[in-house]
Amino acid sequence: MGKRADGALELDVMRVLWAATAPLTPGDVREQLPHPLAYTSVATVLGRLQSKGLARRMDAGRAFGYEAAIDEAQWAVQRMTEVLSSTNDRAGVLAGFVGSLSAKEATALRALLGESSR
């Protein structure tokens, strides 16, 4: 397997947690990932997500169960905020982002901006 983008594994694990209706053990998560991964790697990722406040950990018998602590929209907001914080040209990044929106997304953004300015 080739190198994956930063955060791709965490996103894969979070997608499994978001789809779950109950807390999952590392083994449960491992079985639902789209690619093979060692149990210890999944447990490590879940531990990191928990330490970042992105997942909650609870006792589940002899293992721990995990559930998402934030939803997918909150995840995206955090990622977008990280990207904006990493650049000296925030206006340029925002302009590029807005320019990449579909007409429907741009209309939704205008409506949201109109609401926030009132």
If residue 23 lies in a helix (H) or strand (E), which one and from where to where? none
Contact assessment for residue 70 and residue 54, using Cβ atoms and an 8 Å cutoff: yes
Q: What are phi and psi of 36, to 5 degrees?
A: -70, 140
Domain that holds residue 109: 72-116
Q: Six-digit token pair at 68?
A: 């998402």
Nearest to residue 71, comparing CAs of 15, 109, 23, 8? 15
Residue 48 shares a structural domain with residue 29: yes
Domain shared by 76 and 111, yes or no: yes
Instruction: Supply the pLDDT for residue 117.
Output: 62
Give me the CATH number covering residue 14: 1.10.10.10
What pLDDT is stored for residue 115 in this prediction? 75
Per-residue pLDDT of the chain (118 residues; tens, 9 = 90+): 556 666 889 999 999 999 999 999 999 999 999 999 999 999 999 999 999 999 999 988 888 999 999 999 999 999 899 999 999 999 999 999 999 999 999 999 999 988 766 5
Q: What pLDDT score was predicted for residue 116?
A: 66
